[in-house]
Amino acid sequence: MFLPTRRWALVMLSCVEVLTATGIMFGWSSLSIALRREGTYAELCDDGESGCDAQALRLNAVYTAGAFCVPLGGMIWGPLMDVKGAKWTRAVGMCVFSAGCLLFAFADSKTFDAYVPAACLVSIGGMANFLSHFVIAEYFADDHFGLVHSLINCSFDASTVTFTVLELIHEAGASTRSLFLAMAALGMVYLALTNEKVWAGHLSPPPRKTPVLTSSGNEIAAAPQFGARLDESGKTFRRQVQSPAFIALAVWGLFTVYRTMLVLGSVTEQMLYNGAGGRDSSHAERLVRVFNFLILISVALTPSFGRFIDTHGMASGLTLVNALGVLTYGLLVTTPDWSLYLAFLAFGCFRAWNYSLMTTYSMGVFGGASFGKVYGIGVGTVSCLAAAAQYPTMSIVLGGSEPDFVALDWAMFGVGIVMFGFPAFVHSRTRGLSEGAKDDEDVVVNAA
């Protein structure tokens, strides 16, 4: 018997592993400070310049590659995990992650410019580690399904703090080489933990429960809070991605992931150039450090949000998250530090909770058996498109005579207003869910 205390201990172990070895490339704004400090790509600037747009664009290209390879990794590992299992996916992914860290350790912009492939390997390997942990959520399908998804996702979002910590250690005197050698070693530790003694067989999903059928023979959704009208679990993958439930998710994912990656990839430049006359580099750097810490406040709030999904439903969660995204871009165009701090807090919750919603929705609506394909290939494709758009966006804005992100921020504000259509769609499918449950009292429950 898998004891509840052991089960929750594995959830906590999952959170630690996801925190330190998955989406760490999204903390690029902190690592870029360390790389600038070491003079990475400084040779692109004129003699005597402490920094220039050419250096910023080259560093942003590394971020764009790393951000693009996160959803690309999902496209690779998702279907493989459905076939090979979480244990195999996790083990191979950790090898790829460690290889990327080693490449980062020995990269040099002048003699061995391997930053782009290093960022790609770190992101691709980290994504395997991330996806492999959702198998544990299937053991909580009857009680804390949304909560476990939220905990794993918030750890992924909080993984930005990994580069923040590395930058602080770098400021204290450590080299980026020694820091990434340590990260490679950490990946090997997680590889060593990929065994049955630690996970007690729970790197595989639980046995499928006997289905609950309506009188017409249709299986009721595994996650009862979504209702039968949102259940796509019994369909083939092709039919799933053609369903309105998936199309709505794909549109939502495209624009929410783009807005998320845009902030993460441009926050340093936004702090430099936005506002009357812009800000000096020391002020902008301080704001970036505050940003990287304030967005982590969402970690403490995410368990409550997970319970919010379980008790109030998916539509309410989507509405709240989208409102936070609108608030973020509405405040980013302001100049006072205090309003920017509010924007950072709102963004942290928007980012963390949005990914929680997307994985919970993907597994709850389409089923655990096809979660890897739906989230990895389906959501991964639109996420790749969103990530790929970052570099041209930065090129357009920074290529102007006076770089300014205000117009772009207002455009993203408008996109957020339109995105309230997705929670409206989900609400239309789940409206009257409690009454619907009463209508299904004639279900046939197959005895185990």
Tokens of 389: 């758009």
pLDDT bucket at 292, cuts 50 / 70 / 90:
confident
Give whole-number Cα distances, 348 to 12, 109, 202, 296, 395, in Å. Answer: 21, 32, 31, 6, 25
Highest mean pLDDT among 42-46, 158-162, 417-421, 433-437: 417-421
Across the chain, what does the average pLDDT equal?
Answer: 82
Q: What is the mean pLDDT of residues 330-346?
A: 91
pLDDT bucket at 124, cuts 50 / 70 / 90:
very high
The model's pLDDT over 418-428, given as tens digits with 9 standing for 90+, comes to 999 999 999 98
Instruction: Kindly report the length of the chain.
Output: 448
β-strands 444-445, 212-213 pairing: antiparallel
pLDDT bucket at 444, cuts 50 / 70 / 90:
very low
Residue with tokens 């205000």: 406
More confident residue, 24 or 215: 24
What is the domain partition of the chain in residue ranges? 4-445
Burial (CB count <10 Å: 0-12, 13-18, 19+), residue 397: middle
pLDDT of residue 324: 95
The model's pLDDT over 307-320, given as tens digits with 9 standing for 90+, comes to 788 788 889 999 99
More confident residue, 189 or 210: 189
pLDDT of residue 370: 80
pLDDT of residue 207: 65
Which of 376, 390, 424 lies closest to 79, judged by CA?
A: 376
More confident residue, 101 or 303: 101
pLDDT bucket at 114, cuts 50 / 70 / 90:
very high
CA trace torsion 56, 62, 63, 65 (10° rounding): 140
User: Rounded CA gap, 10 and 88, in Å?
Assistant: 18
CATH number for 4-445 (one of 3.40.50.300, 1.20.1250.20, 3.40.190.80, 3.40.190.170): it is 1.20.1250.20
Q: What is the mean pLDDT of residues 327-343?
A: 91
Prediction pTM value? 0.69
pLDDT at 215 over 90: no
Q: Among 14-28, 52-66, 157-171, 393-407, where is mean pLDDT lowest?
A: 393-407
